Amino acid sequence: MKPINIGLLGLGTVGGGTVSVLTRNAEEIARRAGRGIQISHAAAKQYDADSIQGLEQIQHISDDAFSVVAEPDVDIVIELIGGYSPAKELVLKAIENGKHVVTANKALIALHGEEIFAAAQAKGVTVAFEAAVAGGIPIIKAVREGLAANRIEWIAGIINGTGNYILTEMRDKGRDFDDVLKEAQALGYAEADPTFDVEGIDAAHKLTILGSIAFGMPLQFDKTYTEGIGAIEQQDVLYAGELGYRIKHMGITRIKENGVEQRVHPTLIPERRLIANVDGVMNAVLVKSDAVGPTLYYGAGAGSEPTASAVVADVVDVVRALTTDPENRVPHLAFQPDALSDISILPMEEVETAYYLRLQAVDRPGVLADVTRILGDAGISIEAILQKESNDNNATVPVILLTQRVQEKFMNQAIEKIEANENIQDSVVRIRVETMS
């Protein structure tokens, strides 16, 4: 049977890994796919030829990506350029030319997936994107296919390795955020501009995709609440540990009666939970569904060959389904296109969580009583208190409170009143708490 020809766009970290995996495991992949798979064309502006195993087997390499998507002999286009443009134009042109597409581009799918999937459906081709979320962890397939019998209740994940590495180093080695960030950049875990990682934008792209697949709703990145880890201080990591928690940068999506929570932010997780013990650059996704209960997916969330593993797996899936009626293929977003529900994303003020609060209070009698009264008036119950001692009169001391669950709008009102108290210095530090149960 004639081999399937791949047109590969991008020969960077993941592109190079894809070449290596496809060539090294060619025989095994062909046995699984039912026919040979080869990269016949590739395009890249620049690449390190010496570092890519199997590059010599590619027949045509140029710097013109549009010529690859127009090549009649190419059956499947793999887009590994990243970003919004020209990736979007290339993917849409490939679809227009009747080619299937595999991509690792989470930003592209999160923002333009609706348009891309509609174009693919109209042409009867597939767009596969397993590698767009959590690197080598097959979480898209697990939620879309493995859990198809279940009603998903919530998904919570550590889905950005850079942020997880920073928080792990802060906890294990007592280092400050800025110091660890510089090291993460030197090690290649973080980009020169780390905004997407540390501000949660990268995780929000991935969470948008997971939420859509879990709950059968359109992609809504613009409504995903996003908060970074730049304000986390070493003392917060320390106090969280004293209380039996670890701070993780979590993406959480949960279906409620009145809508869907979709949020990325620093979160205190009980240290006994498995996901609280996912360290370094590793990723993990915890899925709670009605029939099977909680399932945890753990592994490398980035890197050359881990991500290439998901890319090549998508290619194999596409090849297996080439002779399938397009109407009978697995839907892009798990649910049939005409069965998607326009579920609203809840504003953050309507979300209910518990809270960690750190106040810098003047060390004098009655101050803590004022704070607890403000919280009580707002209907907020206190779970635990840590108050550090001071030997100086009128010195300020940190006071740490753990609250029970309350809607964010009520916590916002209480924090505003606490900060207005003359005995409270600086802003109140607030980190949300989830038990993952």
Tell me the one-letter amino acid at 436.
M
Q: Choosing from 88, 99, 206, 248, which is the catalytic residue? A: 206
Tell me what percent of the chain is helix, strand and coil, each rounded to the nearest 5. 40, 25, 35
The Cα–Cα gap between 74 and 199 comes to: 38
Instruction: Tell me the CA distances in angstroms from 242 to 1, 8, 231, 238, 245, one per residue in order.
Output: 63, 50, 19, 6, 7
CB 9 within 8 A of CB 297: no
Residue 251 β-bridge partners: 157, 264
The Cα–Cα gap between 312 and 148 comes to: 23
Q: How many CB atoms lie within 10 A of CB 28?
A: 9
Tokens encoding 66: 């549009």
The Cα–Cα gap between 66 and 172 comes to: 48
Helices (H), 287-355: 304-320
**CA triple 221-88-343, angle to 5 deg:** 25
Question: Is-catalytic flag, 206?
Answer: yes
The Cα–Cα gap between 394 and 391 comes to: 9
CB 197 within 8 A of CB 228: no
Q: Could you list the active site residues?
A: 206
